[in-house]
Amino acid sequence: MFKIFKHDFLENYAPIVGTLAFLVLCWVFLSQKEGDVLVFLMANFFLFLGSGVLLVLIFTAAVRSTQQKLFGAEGYFTFSLPLSIDAILGAKIAINLAWVFLSMVGFFVALFLAYLCHTKAPSLGDLSPQGLPYVLNALGLFLLFWLLLYLKLLLVLTLLNIGRFKRFAKLTGLVFFVGISFLLSLPSQILQKFLLSPKNALLQDSYLAFYANYFFLDTGTSALFLGLEFFKVGLLYATTRWLLVHKLALE
């Protein structure tokens, strides 16, 4: 399992880590109290551009590590390794969560460096009254959201390869992804009608309502929400695992 993780990490770390370092530099420039206006504007522009590039790099790494290594030319090699299907899938999940975790760590490093440089950026303890526990909870919640997103992507790629869709594969994959997302959002929307009353009208009947209001929920409601999200994780994983074991036939 570690070898798969290491191989995927070494294959993608250079552009992702390089972009993160660039974003940290831009953040430090932006945090200066006094500075050249042109530098400030350029740092803003490159911060926005670099953030977009980072998202593209992480998504590309996720697709590459899944499509090419599980279903592409390297699929035979991956599944012929003396590893269980759970070890293979565990490595894929771990590496794709690692990119998001690394990005979040980069953000807090940039925040801390900006604060050390006598900037306008707040310290980590000033982010909320709860301080560090709040930050850790937010990080965990974001990782949970990304885990669900990746498992949906993994299931879509599995369905596409089992069905051997050649024509309009990308469009079919998009339909699958939207359909799976809609079905999984229904329990959360039903739960929301009974337990949550968002102040923001835009969040009415939205799956993201629980994520947006998580830190305002009581203990029972937040536990119920997390239990439902982890149930979705288990359902997606079990479905994908069963399809890979019983239905996948690599060419």
Please give the single-letter amino acid code of residue 192. Answer: Q
Domain that holds residue 171: 127-251
- Supply the pLDDT for residue 149: 93
The Cα–Cα gap between 185 and 211 comes to: 12
251 plus 131 within the same structural domain: yes
Q: Let me know: does 188 contact 210? Beta carbons within 8 Å.
A: yes
- Supply the pLDDT for residue 89: 92
Burial class of residue 220, CB neighbours in 10 A (0-12, 13-18, 19+): exposed
Q: Which region among 1-10, 75-84, 113-122 has the lowest average model confidence (pLDDT)?
A: 113-122
Collapsed DSSP state (helix, strand, coil) of residue 56: helix
Percent of the chain with pLDDT over 90: 24
Tally of domains within the chain: 2
74 plus 17 within the same structural domain: yes
φ and ψ at residue 73, rounded to 5 degrees: -65, -25
- Supply the pLDDT for residue 201: 41
The Cα–Cα gap between 217 and 231 comes to: 19
Q: Which residue has the higher pLDDT, 42 or 140?
A: 140
5 plus 83 within the same structural domain: yes
